[in-house]
Amino acid sequence: MEKTMVGKTLFVSGGTRGIGKAIAYAFAAKGCDIAFTYASSSDTANEIIADIENRYSVKCRAYKLDILEPLTYKDVYKEFDKDFDRLDYFISNAIISGRAVVGGFAPFMRLKPKGLTNIYTATVSAFVVGAQEAAKRMEKTGGGSIISMSSTGNLVYTPNYSGHGTNKAAIETMIKYAATELGEKNIRVNAVSGGPIDTDALKAFPNYEEVKAEVVKRSPLSRMGDATDLTGACIFLCEENSSWLTGQTIVIDGGTSFQ
Ligand SMILES: NC(=O)c1ccc[n+]([C@@H]2O[C@H](COP(=O)([O-])OP(=O)(O)OC[C@H]3O[C@@H](n4cnc5c(N)ncnc54)[C@H](OP(=O)(O)O)[C@@H]3O)[C@@H](O)[C@H]2O)c1
C-alpha cells in the first residue's frame, strides 16, 4: 500500500474494536500516526499500540475516554498535545452499548428518556466536542478532515434501533452545519454511513442471527459488511482526491438500503 499519509496524524475514538480498530490499522498502513481512545481495557489498547507500531513503523498512542462525558474530550486532547504536534484527521466512531442504552435500544413503546438522552450525548454531543477540539488544532496547520460514523438505521427500519437511528440522522445534519462553518478554515466534515457490519455492536442485538440472515439475503453482494468495509471511504475523505467534498454522507451498505 502506498504510504501517502506519512507525517499526518489521525485521532479516532473507539479504536479498540470493530470499525474503529480497522480504521486505525488502515490509516497506519498509509504511514499515518495514530491516536485512538478506549473505554474499558488499557491492556487491549497497549496491545494494539505495540502491534501497530511494530507493523507500520508509525507513532501510536491511546487515551481513555468516556463519550457519556463529552467534555472530558478536552482533557484527552491535552494529553494528545503532549504526544503529537499536529492533527490532520478526526473520526468520531465510538458508540455506547449495554447498560448505557437501556431504554434507548428498544421497541418504540419501551423507549425511555434516559436511554435516549444517553445515545444523544454519546453520539451527537461527543461528536461536537471532539470535532471542536480537533478543529482548533487543524486550523493551526491549514486544515483537515473530520468524519463521523453513521449508519443506515436512519434510512431502513431496524428493530430496536430508533434511538440510534434518530441520532444518526441528527449527526448527518450536524456534519452539514459543521462543514458550512468550518469550510473557511479548510476543514471538511463528512459522514460515512454503514449498513449492518459484523462487529461486537451488532452481535449485541438480541436478534443478531436474524439480522445477519436478512442482510445477506437483501444485499446484492450476498454478504454482511466487515469492519474493514468502511475504511476505504474514510481514507478517501481524508486525502486530497476528495478536497472539494464536504457536508456529505457516503453510504456503504452492500446495496441493502434499496431492497
Ligand atoms: N456495527 C454496525 O453494524 C455498524 C454499522 C454502521 C455504522 N456503525 C457505526 O460505527 C461505529 C463503530 O461501531 P462498531 O460496530 O465498531 O462498535 P463496537 O465494536 O461496539 O466498538 C465500540 C467502540 O466504542 C468504544 N466505547 C464503548 N463505550 C464507550 C464509552 N462509553 N466511551 C468511549 N468509548 C466507548 C469501545 O471501547 P472499549 O473496547 O474499550 O469498550 C469500542 O472501541 C459506531 O459509530 C456505529 O454506530 C456500526
Is residue 258 in a domain?
Answer: no
Give the chain's domain count: 1
Among 72, 95, 151, 223, name the best residue to mutate to test ligand 1's pocket (greatest count of ligand atoms within 8 A of Cβ): 95
Cβ proximity of 234 and 176 under 8 Å: no
Q: Which three cell numbers stand for residue 167?
A: 441520532
Is residue 137 in a domain?
Answer: yes
pLDDT digits (tens, 9 = 90+) for 115-124: 999 999 999 9
Cβ proximity of 177 and 246 under 8 Å: no
Q: Can you tell me which residue has the cell 474503529?
A: 20
Would residue 168 show up in a list of annotated catalytic residues for this protein?
yes
CA-nearest residue for atom 42, ligand 1, is 14
Q: What angle do CA 31, 251, 152 make, to 5 degrees?
A: 120
- In this predicted structure, the answer to whether residue 112 has a pLDDT above a threshold of 90 is yes
- Residue 7: CB atoms within 10 A of its CB come to 10
Question: What is the whole-number distance in angstroms between the Cα of residue 39 and the centre of ligand 1?
Answer: 10
Cβ proximity of 146 and 139 under 8 Å: no
CA distance 27 to 163: 30
Predicted pLDDT of residue 25: 98
pLDDT digits (tens, 9 = 90+) for 11-37: 999 999 999 999 999 999 999 999 999
Ranges assigned E (strand) in 163-244: 187-194
CA distance 203 to 10: 27
User: Which residues form the domain of 170?
Assistant: 9-252
Options 8, 21, 30, 168, the catalytic residue: 168
Is residue 3 in a domain?
Answer: no
Is residue 2 in a domain?
Answer: no
Q: Considering only 127-131, 190-194, 203-207, 232-236, which range has the smallest mean pLDDT?
A: 203-207
Predicted pLDDT of residue 1: 81
Options 161, 185, 212, 217, the catalytic residue: 161
Is residue 111 in a domain?
Answer: yes
Is residue 64 in a domain?
Answer: yes
pLDDT digits (tens, 9 = 90+) for 191-217: 999 999 999 888 888 889 998 999 999
Q: Which three cell numbers stand for residue 93?
A: 466512531
DSSP state of 87: -
123 forms beta bridges with none
Residues near ligand 1 with C-beta < 6 Å? 14, 16-20, 38-41, 65-68, 93-97, 149, 151, 194, 196-197, 199-202
Question: What is the whole-number distance in angstroms between the Cα of residue 73 and the centre of ligand 1?
Answer: 16
